[in-house]
Chains A and B, each alone.
Chain A
Amino acid sequence: MELKICHIYPDLLNLYGDRGNIAVLAQRCRARGIDVSVHPLPLGERGDFSAYDLFFIGGGQDADQALLLDEIQQWRGGEIRAAIEDGKALLAICGGYQLLGHSYRTWDGKEMDCIGALDFYSVGDKTRMIGDYMFQWDEPSGGVKVVGFENHSAKTFLGSGVRPFGNVLAGYGNNGEDGTEGVRYHNVFGTYSHGPLLPKNPILADWLIRLALERKYGSAELAPLNDVLEERAHRYMVERLTKREA
């Protein structure tokens, strides 16, 4: 089996160790004999989106994101929308997540159009929501606690065309108000979680790989891996955050 990962805008959206997610996806494929390749797609470079199976967009600095909006409007927005509707797996973090929505309004009232692939919008705020956080993700049987680190000043509000990725157990999540975190739509996962997200949440990493392979090959079984270190790191944060909230 073969899996092609496309890293969108690695040159601009590469903050907070998010590249760790790619390392984890790639290595977990390799460990199972899946022929995996990573294709960086920097600003200004064109690529055939239909050739890729799994997309990743990370977070960046606010200044860089404004620059990016121009280009993404022009042409790549349409390709990302098409890939999403085509059922491609996509993980978008923080700034990359915000880009998928309708719009982003800065705290001083400037309205910026995003690519409108998903039904939500974001509004900048003066105070940042920063810290370790945790949310409940119910898709896997029995539910899973996802741990991460959030660092955003924008508040995101979901529309009726999408559902939240999870419910906040500790921290702020989408907006610190309605208890939701991230977005789910087809095979898209949007979230504020840095950390990076996947190293301490191996179930989620495998979920993404499986979705991408199922879309491509119809079905996919992933052999279990030795996740002793990952599970320990996950458990440590779950316990710490549970204690913090108590």
Chain B
Amino acid sequence: MRRLRIVLAILLCKLARWGLRRLGRGGTNLPGKLAVRICPDLLGSLGRQVYTILVTGTNGKTTSSRMLEQCLENAAIPAFSNRSGANLLTGITAEFVANATWTGKMRFAHAIIECDEAAFRHTAPLLDAKIVLMTNVFRDQLDRYGEITHTLNSIRAGIEQSPHATVCINADCAMSVDMMAGLPNPVRYFGVETPFYGDKSAGVTEVTRCTACGRDYVYEYRTYGHLGNYHCPGCGYHRPNARIAVTKVLSQDIDESRIEVQIGDATHEATINLPGAYNIYNAAGVMAVADAMGLGFEVIGPALAEFRGGFGRMERFEVGGQTIRMILVKNPIGCSQVLHYLVEGQDPVLLIFSLNDKTADGTDVSWIWDVDAEVLGQMEDRLTAVYCAGTRADDLAVWLKYAGVDSERIHVEYDDDKLLEIVGNATVPVYIIPTYTAMLTLRDKLARKYGLGQFWE
């Protein structure tokens, strides 16, 4: 009977996925829903056959997964991954089904699975991951999680149900480190031992307080947000030593970063094929995973230089001779990082923000006011125009005005087709900065109009 349910669930899931694609739709959610309905622990019976590397945390899940994918490919370890970014129970189930035979045998021995923080506690017992990479914890989509404490509790519950996992933790994120207290899993710490922006630390940060004695942590330096080298002035509790430590940022430009990194006793130079400080953290986390798997730097080093970013994560297109870059933003800290990155440049730019307030974006858009938008004021004439789009375009316009952007340069555009024209006619490089569902729509429309690849490929 159980066997029959499994086969039936797989059959319907595969059929639904095939059907939706024939209709030209991504179909990343419905097939999984069907499968879970028919056989609730389908993922369990498929998951048990596979060595799963699970990636969770607030920012950097997708990019880290892409880096890992390249790493395993270079190591000749066949693996599959939930590339489309469907990272809830249903989406992950659908991905496993797509990589299983009709009778429920997995075609790969390894999987790289990015998992939503809140969904982790539900997928963990089914997947029994061998490695968990927790990138960081920041405020994100508050109306869904209520509070950051809930997010931490949820991730902890997931790790409690992953007894066989080595956990890779960001040593610079006090909340992540504290969350592990009392858990028996082996831990690999990664971190950055050099401030990215000198003494400037960006914007609103979480208050981080010593779990042992309650005093506020003191920071020797911050890299960004609440990340940095902290210690408690009360009881002496401090940031753990990181086995994987970025010791120098050798250079950063619009396309890549070069870093010096220490893994155990050895020092290496690495090139990361994406710009931005946050991607240096992603690379460090991925190096921790590789290290935990016993893969040497000769494998992970070249992978970091070669991998391609996930869709919407600093993707680059060429349209009408201009470079269009799309950078997904989900929360204040990620968005602040993107704006700091833009301000560092030299050339004139055209910006398009697109803010949606659908469930997957977070229905509370107030987070934009926690972004360091004031830095946009420093761009002055380099900022040729800013377009505000999405369901909450008007909120963006007010936000930009109070951030000090000249009102003359702020334009509200609800019509996506007109937005595409603006992209097509641009005379300077364009940066599109959308929230999740806005990114899906814009990317799809750009693809149709200018012939770029579809996202689920």
Contact = CB atoms under 8 A, between A and B. Distances in A.
Interface in B379-400: 394-395, 397-399
A19 B394 contact: no
B412 A194 contact: no
A194 B394 contact: no
Contacts of A162: none
A230 B407 CA distance: 12
B364 A151 contact: yes
A196 interface: yes
B142 A151 contact: yes
Given A196-B369, A233-B394, A149 B204 contact: no
Interface string A162-206: 000000000000000000000000000000001110011000000
B402 A24 contact: yes
13 contacts: A16-B142, A16-B367, A20-B366, A20-B369, A61-B148, A132-B363, A199-B398, A226-B407, A232-B394, A233-B395, A233-B397, A233-B398, A236-B394
B417 interface: no
A61 B149 contact: yes
Contacts of B139: 15
A136 interface: no
Nearest to B370: A17
A162 to B, nearest CB: 26
Contacts of A195: 366
B143 interface: yes
Interface of A: 11-12, 14-20, 23-24, 27, 61-64, 128, 130-132, 149, 151, 194-196, 199-200, 226, 229-230, 232-233, 236
Contacts, number: 80
Interface of B: 139, 142-143, 146-149, 204, 207, 332, 363-370, 394-395, 397-399, 401-402, 407, 410, 412
Interface of B is mostly: helix
B166 to A, nearest CB: 30
A229 B398 contact: yes
Given A61-B149, A233-B395, 11 more contacts: A15-B142, A17-B369, A19-B370, A20-B366, A20-B369, A20-B402, A130-B143, A151-B142, A151-B143, A229-B394, A233-B394
Nearest to A228: B407
Contacts of B366: 16-18, 20, 149, 194-196
A55 to B, nearest CB: 19
A131 B363 contact: yes
B369 A130 contact: no
A246 B399 CA distance: 29
Given A12-B207, A199-B399, A236-B394, A17 B143 contact: no
B393 to A, nearest CB: 8
A128 B146 contact: yes
A195 B365 CA distance: 7
Given A61-B149, A63-B149, A130 B363 contact: yes
A27 B402 contact: yes
Contact of B402 (A15, A199, A236): A199
